[in-house]
């Protein structure tokens, strides 16, 4: 039985409370090698989900094999892949698995995660999936409100420039910020459109006195530390500074925002 997560929750009750089965929640993240941001983002999301469903054991898996290998070699920390976590749940007697990704969109990482989990479909009674952060129109609106709320004290002469990872989703979400009245919030990507050059043109037309830079990613990891606010002349902070803007980086991942975590819960 493979279905959407909504079907589990349709009775409005706790999906883990069922004497005939033993359900668990597998929380799947890309991962990060930066301990400080992990504690404030991935760990916080996992804690909130575990607190919301105390009858369900909560398991962790990461999808970045490179980061998993780095942590094992550098820190001696063992993080399960999705397949390893599924194996562990079988050993623990879990019969039904609820998989909740912390991925921002339903992209390559999420597709691979589903494929890895579903390779166990014959060994569990059910495997069901929660949605990535940005899935529905309601999600888009809720995320815009959550981000805007985090920066609500910013004056209208300051622009907030957000760095996403990179797909076509982000151009539409950038428009959504403007459409919902946040004319001074700009969302770009590090690897796709809109790129920084597009944001520079948009910022010039807005003519902000100051720019606040922040990652539009669950964790403030490698992209935030280097591409966003790094010392390289091509980092977004240095590119914007060279254009004459007063730039303040805020290295705070989306997972630090309580309202973002609540969407995932």
Q: How many CB atoms lie within 10 A of CB 196?
A: 19
Q: Single out the catalytic residue among 80, 165, 182, 223.
A: 165
Residues with Cβ within 8 Å of 117's Cβ and at least 6 positions away in sequence, in order, are: 26, 82, 86, 97, 99, 127, 129
d(CA 127, CA 1): 7
d(CA 188, CA 107): 17
d(CA 212, CA 20): 52
Contact 25, 58 (CB under 8 A): yes
Is the entire prediction scored with pTM above 0.85?
yes
Based on the residue annotation, tell me whether 169 is a catalytic residue of this protein: no
Q: How many residues does the chain have?
A: 265
CA dist 95 → 25, 81, 125, 181 (Å): 11, 19, 6, 47
The two three-digit tokens of residue 38, written as one number: 């992990």
pLDDT tens for the chain, 265 residues long, are 333 444 444 444 566 766 567 999 999 999 999 999 999 999 999 999 999 999 999 999 999 999 999 999 999 999 999 999 999 999 999 999 999 999 999 988 899 999 999 999 999 999 999 999 999 999 999 999 999 999 999 998 999 999 998 777 888 899 999 999 999 999 999 888 888 898 888 877 888 989 999 999 999 998 899 999 999 999 999 999 999 999 999 999 999 999 999 999 9
pLDDT tens digits, residue range 122-159? Answer: 999 999 999 999 999 999 999 999 999 999 999 989 99
d(CA 238, CA 83): 41
């Amino acid at each position: 039985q493979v279905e959407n997560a909504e079907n589990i929750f349709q009775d409005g009750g706790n999906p883990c409370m069922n004497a005939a089965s033993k359900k668990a929640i597998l929380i799947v993240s890309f991962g990060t090698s930066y301990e400080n941001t992990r504690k404030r983002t991935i760990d916080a999301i996992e804690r909130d989900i575990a607190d919301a469903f105390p009858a369900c054991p909560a398991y962790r898996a990461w999808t970045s094999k490179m980061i998993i290998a780095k942590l094992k070699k550098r820190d001696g920390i063992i993080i399960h892949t999705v397949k390893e976590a599924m194996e562990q749940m079988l050993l623990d007697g879990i019969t039904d698995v609820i998989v909740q990704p912390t991925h921002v969109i339903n992209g390559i990482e999420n597709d691979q995660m589903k494929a890895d989990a579903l390779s166990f479909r014959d060994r569990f009674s059910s495997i069901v999936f929660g949605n990535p952060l940005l899935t529905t129109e309601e999600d888009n609106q809720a995320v815009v409100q959550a981000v805007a709320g985090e920066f609500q004290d910013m004056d209208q002469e300051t622009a907030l420039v957000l760095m996403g990872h990179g797909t076509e989703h982000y151009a539409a979400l950038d428009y959504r910020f403007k459409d919902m009245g946040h004319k001074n919030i700009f969302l770009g990507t590090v690897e796709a459109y809109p790129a920084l050059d597009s944001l520079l043109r948009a910022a010039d037309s807005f003519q902000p006195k100051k720019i606040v830079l922040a990652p539009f990613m669950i964790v403030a990891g490698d992209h935030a530390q280097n591409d966003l606010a790094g010392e390289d002349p091509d980092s977004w902070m240095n590119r914007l500074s060279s254009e004459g803007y007063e730039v303040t980086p805020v290295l705070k991942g989306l997972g630090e925002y309580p309202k973002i975590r609540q969407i995932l819960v």
